[in-house]
Amino acid sequence: MNRLRRFLTASIAMAAMSVFNPAYADGSKGKIFYMVPTLLDEFQTESVSALTKFMGDVGYEVVALNADNKTDVQQSQMDDTILQKPKAIILAAVDFNALAPYIDKARAAGIPVMIFDRQITSTPSDLTSVAGTVEIGHVAGDQIEGLLKAKNGSVKGKVLQVLGDPSDPYTLDIQKGFEEKMAAFPDVKIISLPAMQWEASNAGTIVSDQLVANPDIDLIFVHAAHLAVAAVASLEAKGKKPGDVMLVSSNGAPVGLDLIRKGWENVEVEQPLYAQAAALAMFADKVVNKEEIKPGNYSVLGLDSVMTNEKWGPNIKIPGAAITKENVDEPRFWGNLKAPADKITPVQ
Give 229-263 pLDDT, tens digit per residue.
999 999 999 999 999 999 999 999 999 999 999 99
Q: Does 40 or 297 have the greater pLDDT score?
A: 297
Question: pLDDT-based confidence at 320, cuts 50/70/90?
Answer: confident
CA distance 67 to 99: 12
- Spell out the residues 6+ positions from residue 275 whose beta carbon is closer than 8 angstroms to its own: 300, 301, 303, 305, 318
Q: Which CATH architecture does the domain made up of 2-125+272-318 adopt? A: 3-Layer(aba) Sandwich (3.40)
Highest CATH level, class, for 133-270: alpha beta
- Which pLDDT does position 8 carry in this prediction? 37
Q: Contact, 66 vs 42, CB < 8 A?
A: no
Contacts of 189 (CB under 8 A, 6+ apart): 157, 158, 159
Count Cβ atoms below 10 Å from residue 64 Cβ, excluding itself: 25
Given this chain, do its domains 2-125+272-318 and 133-270 carry the same CATH topology? yes
Mean per-residue pLDDT, 56-73: 96
- pLDDT band at residue 26 under the 50/70/90 scheme: low
Distance CA 126, CA 88 (A): 10
Q: What is the pLDDT of residue 342?
A: 84
What pLDDT is attached to residue 192?
Answer: 98
Domain ranges of the chain: 2-125+272-318, 133-270
